[in-house]
Structure 1
Amino acid sequence: MKAPDLLRLSDNVVLARFETMKVYAALGAVRTLLDRGTVRPGQTLVDSSSGIYALALAMACHRYGLGCHIVASTTVDAAMRAQLEILGATVDQMPPSDSLRLDQERRVCRVRQLLAERGDLHWMRQYHDGVHYAGYQEFAELVDTALPDAPLTVVGAVGTGASTGGLVQPLRRRGRDIRLLGLQPFGSVTFGSENFSDPEAIIAGIGSSIPFDNVRHDLYDTLHWVDFRHAMAGAVDLLRAHAVFAGLSTGAAHLVTAWEAARNPDRTHLVIGADTGHRYTERVFARHEEALDPRTLKPHQITDLAELAPPWSAMEWNRRGYDVRARTSTPDAPTKTHDKEGKAS
């Protein structure tokens, strides 16, 4: 389940289609923590998740004989919850909410409550602990072998930062010409869209209402902010044009990549397809007749965050830093610095 299928969608676009991408992150993190002695056999690991990390952590805990407790987003559906429970995880699920911020804050508060009640828990902190970068070294080796030498643009949801950062750092260290394009929803603090809202959906795996220390802003060359309806257009088109049934972040990446690839035909574009489309069946695919025609869509190109506007904006980020905590009053963890491996300290 860990390794993706690499599917060529056009001459200069390749999709890395995962069933659940974060198996790399969870396995790499759990192995590293066990090797360090930070986690002991039989201990229970706990974390907050909007879906695919929860499943990956449950599988990693199942493999290594560890307990697993998930504080789940309101977006986790019955099918996902059943898989978690069958794999031995216990689940706390947040009540329904139309607010990404409220959903994430409730989850963090619940994790802190559990830690105060139970001294045997280890908080995995997928949003903040750089150990989650470790597993993506293997993905980087796969990409380097499959797509050798060509100038490469990686397109993926920013989310926690580990998947995109953990992929491009090893590739850049090998001297590859690698550009990183990150995707964000409106309403995320990670790249400054917190003053907007997207009432149709919570795209929790793409952005955040709280600062994530695992996001290294200086790794990104370009940013695209995409609303729910544009992400939906991309997801429906990906199924219609290529028979790929993938999630909402993959749909957004597909839409953005088509626009970018047409303007940069000399570069290969690698789209990270983080998960399948099953948990989006009702909210996205059952509404396919409402989907916008992606051929009619294009971004509002901006040069400053003050110009940011829905439904789709694009900006050259140019690998610069960004102090999220200076813009928000809801820190979730102590401020951290990062070393060259993406490890938080």
Structure 2
Amino acid sequence: MHEHYADAIAEPDHIRLAPDLVCMRFEVMKVRSALGAVRHLLATGRIRPGDTLVDSSSGIYALALALACHRYGMRCHIVGSTTVDETLRIQLEILGATLERMPPSTDLMLDQNRRVERVGQLLLENPGYHWMRQYHDGIHYAGYREVAERLDRELPLEPLTIVGGVGTGASTGALAEYLRAMGRDVRLVGIQPFGSVTFGAEHTADPDMIIAGIGSSIEFRNVRRELYDRVHWVSFRYAQAGAVALLRDSGIFAGLSAGAAYLASQWERDRAPGRTMVFLAPDTGHRYVSAAFAAHSDVPDLAELSPHEVSGSDKVVLPWSVTDWATDLPTQRGASRLPVGVPGWSS
């Protein structure tokens, strides 16, 4: 029996959609990152119950950190984007977290930079605050060890391909790292939106939107790029098609990053017989009803979609591109920075 709601929703459901296709479905995946980070900080004495934890968030991490703080008796302050909706605002308020919204902006980079600058001001004004640094600290990898161990138990001996949004690397990167350390044969396929700087596609732009959470117009310094074998860049339109198809095919109601991962998994399956595809569904589809699911009758069929296979991130084009990152360069890999904050890793 779980001792707290946060522990319950941090556990994924493993759903086998086909003999070689498994969905790792979370309700709120970032709760896993926040819980693991807070537990490690408490265990090492870097924070104590009652301390204030602060970070910037466009939405989901705000809820994850608020729940982790509620679980462990911490205070929580969020510098939030204008995308934080009323449902989330009320949850944060009741959980005891304080939310400070930034002024409206149509420029994603400006919004993110403003939030980070405000966090810096708060730390100067309140030196006792602890900045969680969700975009930069490798401590957020720690919570996925148990997820990897469970997957290892439930899928014995099978060669695996993990497919999911890159984000800060704390989900896909951590799973691959832990599973490989267990001796598993694991390939790692990352999903990126166009416009994300993480794998060098900042020269592109999706006219519809950037898919929040899996990439960004600012650098995420805790991404370990050398862990990834292949990278897919997927547009909003194609991610929408994947999310609708996932719901129609399996009954799983999940968000846009899950839709992009489902789309990429189908393409990867055709090229990797004998491997089991495990794709991540990090959240439910409720936030995307108006933006993505309402127009379900107009999305293309996945069987009609295929990516542009390119030789590097400088050649990616909409609406879907893929590159073999592992063989593409050591030069691109050389730009990677190891995450900090987790034992055994150095900056």
TM norm structure 1: 0.92
Deviates more, 1:65-74 or 1:239-248: 65-74
Question: Aligned partners of 2:297, 2:108: CA distance in 1, in Å?
Answer: 26
Residue 158 in 1 paired to residue 166 in 2?
yes
Q: Tell me the amino acid that sits aligned with residue 68 of structure 1.
A: C
Q: Which moved more, 1:305-314 or 1:113-122?
A: 113-122
Question: What is the root-mean-square deviation in Å for CA atoms of aligned residues?
Answer: 2.0
Task: Give the match for residue 71 of structure 2.
Answer: 63
**1:26 correspondence with 2:34:** yes
Instruction: Provide, for residues 136-188 of structure 1, a one-character-per-residue CA deviation record: whole Å limited to 9, x for no partner.
Output: 10100011011111000000100111111211111101111000000000000
Report the AA paired with residue 332 of structure 2: Y
SS of match in other structure, 1:161: coil
Partner amino acid, structure 2, of 1:256: A
The equivalent position to 1:207 in structure 2, one of 211, 215, 218, is: 215
Q: Are the equivalent residues in 1 in contact too, given 2:194–2:210 (CA < 8 A)?
A: no
Q: What does residue range 15-94 of structure 1 map to in structure 2 within 5 Å?
A: 15-94=23-102
Asked if 1:287 is matched to 2:315, the reply is: no
- 2:48 maps to amino acid: R
Indicate how the Cα distance of structure 1 residues 203 and 325 shifts in structure 2: closer, same or farther if over 3 A, else same: same
Alignment of 1:224-243 (within 5 A): 224-243=232-251
Q: Which amino acid aligns with 2:166?
A: V
Aligned to 1:331: none
1:115 pairs, out of 88, 109, 123, with 123
Q: Is the 8 A contact 1:191 1:324 kept in 2?
A: no
Equivalent pair of 2:108/2:217 in contact (CA under 8 Å): yes
- SS, match of residue 283 in structure 2: coil
Deviations 1:98-141 (A, max 9, x none): 43322221221221122222222110001111111111101000
| Aligned residue in 1 for 2:273 | 265
Instruction: Give the structure 1 partner of residue 157 of structure 2.
Output: 149
Q: Work out the CA distance in 2 between the residues paired with 1:126 and 1:184.
A: 18
Structure 1: stretches of 5+ with no match in the other structure: 327-334
Which residue of the partner structure matches residue 322 of structure 1? 332
Task: Look up the equivalent residue of 1:322 and give its one-letter code.
Answer: Q
Query: Are the structure 2 counterparts of residues 187 and 324 from structure 1 closer, same or farther at C-alpha, using a change threshold of 3 Å?
Result: farther
Distance (whole Å) between structure 1 residues aligned to residue 194 and residue 139 of structure 2:
28
Residues 131 and 343 in structure 1, CA contact (< 8 A), matched pair in contact too? no
What's the counterpart of residue 192 of structure 2?
A: 184
Q: Which runs of 5+ in 2 are unaligned?
A: 1-8
Conserved 8 A contact 1:232-1:284: yes
> What is the rounded CA distance, in whole Å, between the counterparts of 1:282 and 1:245 in structure 2?
14
| Paired residues of 1:236 and 1:251 also in contact (CA < 8 A) | yes
The answer on whether the counterparts of 2:136 and 2:339 sit within 8 Å (CA) in structure 1 is no
Aligned equivalent of 1:248:
256
Q: 1:275-324: per-residue Cα shift (whole Å, max 9, x none)?
A: 00111111111122232221110000011223211110000011746379
Counterparts of 2:338 and 2:185, CA distance in 1: 28
Aligned residues of 2:144 and 2:171 also touching (Cα < 8 A):
yes
Q: Distance in 2 between matches of 1:211 and 1:342?
A: 23
Q: Give the paired residue count.
A: 337
Between the aligned partners of 1:343 and 1:39, the Cα distance in structure 2 is: 20
Partner of 1:332: none
